[in-house]
C-alpha cells in the first residue's frame, strides 16, 4: 500500500482548463477504444507489480526517490500537448518554464549569470560539461577520484580525452597530495570534483581543490548529480558546508532533479558559470530555429529532441516547493540526513555490526561483523536477502580494502574488495521510520 492517487482529480480539472485554451479550434476528438485500452492497462498494472516498492519508506536501497505528486501531475498534464524543448516551435511555454526552472537551480549555487539547460540525466549532463572542457583545454587530461562515478572515465573515452583516476583518502575523498603531484606535470585540463559520491555520498575537498585551481589554472567541474540539492540542508558538517559554499566559484555543475529534486526520470541538468561557453555549441539548423530570434534551447544543448514535460514538472515542483533555506524542500533534505545519522549511530553502537566514516549526506554503509572480508561479504549478501524477505529493501556495494582498513582493525584483510550493505535514506519519511527499520535489522541479525 502507499501509492498516492487522490491527486488525480486535480489532473482532470487542469486538463479541462488546458483544453479551454484551444477552444477556438474546430471540433476534433481522436477515436479511442477504451475497452482495449483498459485490457492493456490492466496488464501493465499487473506487470509493474514486479518491482521493488521504491515509493515506500521500507525501500532504503538504491538512489530511487518517488517524484512529488505535483511533478507527476504537471508531467502528465504536459503530455496532452507533448512539447519538444529543442526549439521554440515545438514548445514555447515549456521552453520558457525550463529557462525559469534552470535559473532557479543556478541561483541555488549562487549564480545570477549562467548558461544551462535540462538533460536526460547526469550522464548526458556530465558529457556536455566535459565536452566543453575538452574544447577549451584541447589535449589536456581529465581527472576524477577513484570513487567518482564510472561515467567520467567512459565519457572521456567517448570524447577521446585522456582520463586518470586519483586515489582517495580513508573517507573516500579525492587525495589532494596525489592530485597536486599530477597537476605539477602540467597535463591536467579538467578536475572533476564529486559532491556526493555514488557509493558513500562523500564530498571531495572542494575549497582546497579550488585553491589548487588558482595555482595551476585548470577547469573545475563539479559532479553534484546526487548531492547538489544538499546545499539547502541545515545540518551539514562544517567541512561539507565549506564545500557547498565553494560551488559559486567552479566552472560547471551537474545536478540531477530526478534524484533529490523530486522529479520523474529522466531529468538532469548542466550549468556553466560563464555564459560565453554557449559559442562552443554554435551550429546551423535551417529548418528549426528560424521562427524566433529568442534563444532556442537546442542551440545550447547536444541533445536535440527533449521532453518539455520534464521542464513543466520541474517548474511546477519548484513553484510549490521553492529552493530556499529553511523552506519545506530544505527541511526534507535535512530530515534525510538526520535519518542517515541516526541509523549510522545505532549501527556504530551495536557490536554486531561494522561501520565506516559517518555519512556526509544521507547514504549509510555498514556490514555484519565477521573475522575476515570474505565472511563479511558472504554475510552482507545473506543479510540483503533476509531483509528483503522482511520487506526491508537495502543495497550492496563493493568497496576496496583501503577504505575499510583504517576502521576495521580486527578484521583479516584477505581479499582486495569487500561487499557491504548500503542504504540511501532519500525520503524525508525515513526519519520517522528509523525505529521500524531498526527493528527489522535487529530481528534479522
pLDDT tens profile 87-137: 888 899 999 999 999 999 999 999 999 999 999 999 999 999 999 999 999
What's the pLDDT score for residue 29? 85
pLDDT at 284: 58
Could you give the residue range(s) of every CATH 3.40.640.10 domain in the chain?
92-320
Of all residues in the chain, what percent carry a pLDDT higher than 90? 90
Q: In CATH terms, is domain 92-320 a member of 2.60.40.420?
A: no
With 80 as the cut, is the pLDDT of residue 290 above it?
A: no
**Residue with grid cell 535487529, as numbered in its chain:** 442
Neighbours of 8 (CB within 10 A): 13
CATH class of segment(s) 328-444: alpha beta
| Confidence band of 327 (pLDDT split at 50, 70, 90) | very high
Q: Is 280 exposed, middle or buried (0-12, 13-18, 19+ CB in 10 A)?
A: middle
| Residue pLDDT, tens place only, 181-212 | 999 999 999 999 999 999 999 999 999 999 99
Nearest to 269 by CA among 142, 127, 66: 127
How far apart are the C-alpha atoms of 27 and 218, rounded to whole Å? 60
Residue with cell 474546430: 26
Label residue 281 by pLDDT band (50, 70, 90). confident
Q: Give the tens place of pLDDT for each residue, 398-432.
A: 999 999 999 999 999 999 999 999 999 999 999 99
Please choose, from the candidates 296, 311, 301, 298, the residue with its C-alpha nearest in 3D space to the C-alpha of residue 124.
301
How far apart CA 313 and CA 336 sit, in angstroms, is: 22
Lowest mean pLDDT among 279-283, 363-367, 395-399: 279-283
What is the mean pLDDT of the segment spanning 16-29? 91
Residue 134: exposure state from Cβ atoms within 10 A (0-12, 13-18, ≥19): buried
Tell me which H or E stretch contains 399: strand 395-400
Confidence of residue 295 (pLDDT cuts 50, 70, 90): low
Q: What is the mean pLDDT of residues 281-301?
A: 63
**CATH 3.90.1150.170: which residues of the chain?**
328-444
Alpha carbons within 13 A on the beta-carbon side of 71 = 22
In 3D, which of 52, 64, 60 has the Cα closest to residue 422? 60
Average pLDDT rounded to a whole number, residues 65-79: 97
The set of residues, in sequence order, having a beta carbon less than 8 Å from that of 43 and lying 6+ positions away, is none
Predicted pLDDT at 283: 62
For residue 289, what pLDDT is reported? 43
Q: Which of 107-116, 217-226, 230-239, 290-299 has the lowest mean pLDDT?
A: 290-299
Mean pLDDT of 158-174: 97
Report the predicted TM-score, pTM, of the whole model to 2 decimal places. 0.95
Total residue length of the chain: 445
**C-alpha cell recorded at residue 136:** 577549451
Mean pLDDT check: name the lowest of 27-41, 172-186, 228-242, 360-374. Answer: 27-41
The pLDDT, as a whole number, for residue 64 is: 95
**In Å, how far are 152, 381, 382, 395, 405 from 378, measured between CA atoms?**
30, 5, 6, 14, 18
Q: What is the pLDDT of residue 299?
A: 83
pLDDT of residue 294: 60
Q: Which of 280, 220, 231, 282 is nearest to 253 (CA)?
A: 220
- Predicted pLDDT of residue 30: 86
DSSP label at residue 326:
T
Instruction: Count the neighbouring beta carbons within 10 Å of the beta carbon of residue 335.
Output: 20
Q: Mean of the per-residue pLDDT values for the chain?
A: 95
- Helix intervals (H) in 361-429: 373-389, 401-404
Query: Which ranges of 137-237 would DSSP assign to H, the alpha helix?
Result: 151-158, 176-183, 206-216
Position 408 scores a pLDDT of 97
Residue 291 has pLDDT above 70, yes or no: no
Q: Using alpha carbons, select from 318, 277, 322 the residue that is nearest to residue 116.
A: 277
How far is 50 from 340, CA to CA, in rounded Å? 28
Half-sphere exposure in the Cβ direction for 149 (13 Å, CA): 23
Amino acid at each position: 500500500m502507499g501509492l498516492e492517487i487522490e491527486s488525480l482529480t486535480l489532473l482532470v480539472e487542469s486538463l479541462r482548463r488546458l483544453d479551454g485554451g484551444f477552444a477556438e479550434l474546430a471540433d476534433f476528438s481522436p477515436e479511442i477504444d477504451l475497452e482495449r485500452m483498459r485490457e492493456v492497462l490492466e496488464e501493465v498494472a499487473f506487470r509493474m507489480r514486479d518491482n521493488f516498492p521504491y515509493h515506500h519508506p521500507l525501500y532504503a536501497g538504491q538512489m530511487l526517490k518517488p517524484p512529488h505528486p505535483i511533478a507527476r501531475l504537471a508531467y502528465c498534464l504536459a503530455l496532452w500537448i507533448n512539447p519538444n524543448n529543442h526549439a521554440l516551435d515545438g514548445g514555447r511555454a515549456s521552453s520558457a518554464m525550463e529557462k525559469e526552472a534552470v535559473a532557479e537551480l543556478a541561483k541555488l549555487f549562487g549564480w545570477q549569470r549562467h548558461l544551462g539547460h535540462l538533460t536526460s540525466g547526469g550522464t548526458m549532463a556530465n558529457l556536455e560539461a566535459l565536452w566543453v572542457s575538452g574544447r577549451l583545454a584541447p589535449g589536456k587530461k581529465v581527472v576524477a577520484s577513484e570513487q567518482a562515478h564510472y561515467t567520467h572515465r567512459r565519457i572521456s573515452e567517448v570524447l577521446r580525452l585522456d582520463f586518470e583516476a586519483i586515489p582517495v583518502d580513508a573517507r573516500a575523498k579525492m587525495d589532494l597530495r596525489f592530485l597536486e603531484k599530477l597537476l605539477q606535470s602540467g597535463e591536467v585540463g579538467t578536475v572533476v570534483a564529486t559532491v556526493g559520491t555514488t557509493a558513500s555520498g562523500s564530498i571531495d575537498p572542494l575549497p582546497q581543490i579550488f585553491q589548487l585551481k588558482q595555482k595551476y589554472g585548470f577547469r573545475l567541474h563539479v559532479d553534484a548529480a546526487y548531492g547538489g540539492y544538499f546545499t539547502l540542508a541545515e545540518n551539514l558538517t562544517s567541512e561539507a558546508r565549506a564545500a557547498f559554499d565553494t560551488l559559486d566559484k567552479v566552472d560547471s555543475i551537474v545536478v540531477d532533479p530526478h534524484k533529490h529534486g523530486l522529479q520523474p526520470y529522466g531529468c538532469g541538468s548542466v550549468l556553466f558559470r560563464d555564459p560565453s561557453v554557449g559559442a562552443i555549441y554554435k551550429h546551423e539548423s535551417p529548418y528549426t530555429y528560424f521562427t524566433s530570434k529568442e534563444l532556442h534551447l537546442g542551440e545550447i544543448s547536444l541533445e536535440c529532441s527533449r521532453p518539455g514535460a520534464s521542464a513543466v514538472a520541474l517548474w511546477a515542483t519548484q513553484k510549490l516547493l521553492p529552493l530556499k533555506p529553511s523552506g519545506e524542500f530544505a527541511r526534507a533534505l535535512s530530515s534525510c540526513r538526520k535519518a542517515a545519522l541516526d541509523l549510522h549511530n545505532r549501527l556504530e553502537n551495536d557490536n554486531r555490526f561494522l561501520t565506516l566514516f559517518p555519512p556526509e549526506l544521507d547514504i549509510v554503509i555498514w556490514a555484519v561483523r565477521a573475522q575476515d572480508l570474505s565472511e563479511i561479504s558472504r554475510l552482507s549478501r545473506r543479510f540483503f536477502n533476509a531483509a528483503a524477505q522482511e520487506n526491508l529493501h537495502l543495497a550492496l556495494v563493493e568497496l576496496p580494502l583501503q577504505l575499510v582498513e583504517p576502521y576495521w582493525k580486527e578484521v583479516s584483510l584477505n581479499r582486495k574488495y569487500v561487499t557491504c550493505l548500503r542504504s540511501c535514506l532519500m525520503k524525508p519519511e525515513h526519519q520517522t521510520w528509523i525505529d521500524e527499520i531498526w527493528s527489522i535489522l535487529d530481528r534479522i541479525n
